[in-house]
A = this chain, B = another copy of it.
Amino acid sequence: MVIALLTDFGTSDYFVAAMKGKILTLCPDARIVDITHDIEPQNVRSAAFLLNACFRDFPHGTIFVVVVDPGVGSGRRPVLVQTEKYFFVAPDNGVLSFVLDHSTFEDFRIIELANKKYLAESVSQTFHGRDIFAPVAAYLAKGVNPTTFGPAIAELVRIEIPKLHRISDYELAGEVIHIDHYGNLITNLTRDELSDEFWLDVNGRKISRHCKHYAEAGEGEVFSIFGSAGFLEISVNFGSAKDILVAEVGQKVLVRH
């Protein structure tokens, strides 16, 4: 059984190791995969985006453990969400919002992780990754029935997904929702909203070049491209769009047809 970890714990501390140690103690056969541990500290939205961008690539039955958890130790609930194909173990703080956005509440089951039998003997108030989420994932991987972890609950905390705004028949406003390792700006625009001919306005800079692959553009040229997460991206061949356009997450992107 694959257990995939997504946290903001970084890789220079003992946090991730402690989770893996706990998992392997309880379920020696678990196959642990790191999604990333380099989420900006406490950035729930960023974790929600990255999880959504890759969870479909994993085998059915994968248990995703998502620990970006500024509310650890407070009243926020630890939950298990079971969908048709996957399990998600996480704090109830909205981090699953993008993954579950296209589902209705009938499509999945939510369990509050309340059964102390499946948690660490002594649960700290600062590290539920080790004391709650890792043990639950390990027991799930061992075949424990989801309903035994606690009571079913009806709703999850949601974070708002940035929406597009139609300004006129010819103008649409989107925004940058993620900036990747290469400095590509991932927007919330998809093919569905865009005609064959469009250009972008970012901070007054016009971007009219649209490419199908990166090497199509000249070195240093700014262009748009449909990226691998399904969204329109703004890129620079052999360069960083983030640096050249001085952009951050939330940057408005105006589309003109």
Contacts and interface: CB of A to CB of B under 8 A. Distances in A.
A14 interface: yes
Contacts of A226: 126
Interface in A40-55: 41-42, 50, 53-55
B21 A59 contact: yes
Contacts of A205: none
A12 B25 contact: no
A195 interface: no
Contacts of A39: 12
Given A18-B54, A126-B214, A130-B228, A24 B72 contact: no
Contacts of A212: 73, 125
Contact of A229 (B10, B14, B56, B182): B14
A14 B70 contact: no
A18 B57 contact: yes
Contacts of A33: 17, 20-21, 24, 32
Interface of A: 2, 4, 9-22, 24-25, 28, 31-39, 41-42, 50, 53-59, 62, 70-74, 76, 124-127, 130, 180-182, 212-216, 225-229, 237-238
20 contacts: A4-B17, A4-B21, A11-B11, A11-B34, A11-B36, A14-B35, A14-B50, A15-B180, A17-B33, A17-B54, A18-B57, A20-B33, A24-B59, A25-B58, A73-B212, A74-B216, A124-B228, A126-B214, A126-B227, A127-B228
